[in-house]
Amino acid sequence: MFKLLFLKILYNLSDERVIQEAQVNMAYKYFLNLEPDDQLMYPSSLTKFRKLRLNQEEILEELLSEIVQQAIEKGLITSKSLILDATHTRSKHVTQTPLENLRQVSKYIRKQLYRYVPHVKEEVPKKLHSTASLEEEVAYTQELIVFRRST
């Protein structure tokens, strides 16, 4: 499964597309240690594996870092520099504004309410528009906290 995820990331494919490619591409089959006539799993299995087993970005990053380290040790990567596509990588050094922090907190509170008290979904205060001011976001977050305590 991890090798399929590696191919998915390497070639920027969807779960469904990586399975389709692995069914017909002999290089993929060789990489996956499969026989030419072996069948692969359904794409939903790959999605479930990624979401349930690798649900934290750190795990996937650690696995990929380990692969790169092993490739360097075995001489497969000889370059002194490594170029990474960081399009979907969160930087640890980017600071969030207070408004972004509040939005993240309110989103977390809403998610937890929907998850643990699903019957109140219609009663939860509606999410603010993305153009809301800091003061509006503060008031909304306080409203969510009060609502959460009352449930």
pLDDT tops 60 at residue 49: yes
What is the domain count for the chain?
Answer: 2
Mean pLDDT computed over 28-39 = 90
In a domain, 87, yes or no: no
Within this chain, do residues 69 and 102 fall inside the same structural domain, yes or no? no
Q: Identify whether residues 53 and 108 lie together within a single domain.
A: no
Would you say residue 90 lies in a domain?
A: no
- Structural domain includes residue 84: no
107 in a domain, yes or no? Answer: yes
> Which one, of 89, 33, 95, 44, lies nearest residue 65 by Cα?
89
**69 and 104 together in one domain:** no
Q: What's the pTM?
A: 0.43
- Mean pLDDT taken over the chain: 80
Helix (H, G, I), strand (E, B), or coil: what is residue 119?
helix
Torsion of the alpha carbons at 86, 88, 92 and 95, rounded to the nearest 10: 110
Structural domain includes residue 66: yes
In a domain, 80, yes or no: no
At residue 92, the pLDDT reads: 54
Query: Is residue 90 pLDDT above 60, yes or no?
Result: no
Cα separations in angstroms, 114 against 33, 88, 120: 42, 26, 7
Q: Is residue 82 part of a domain?
A: no
What residues make up the domain containing 107? 98-150
Same domain, 55 and 110: no
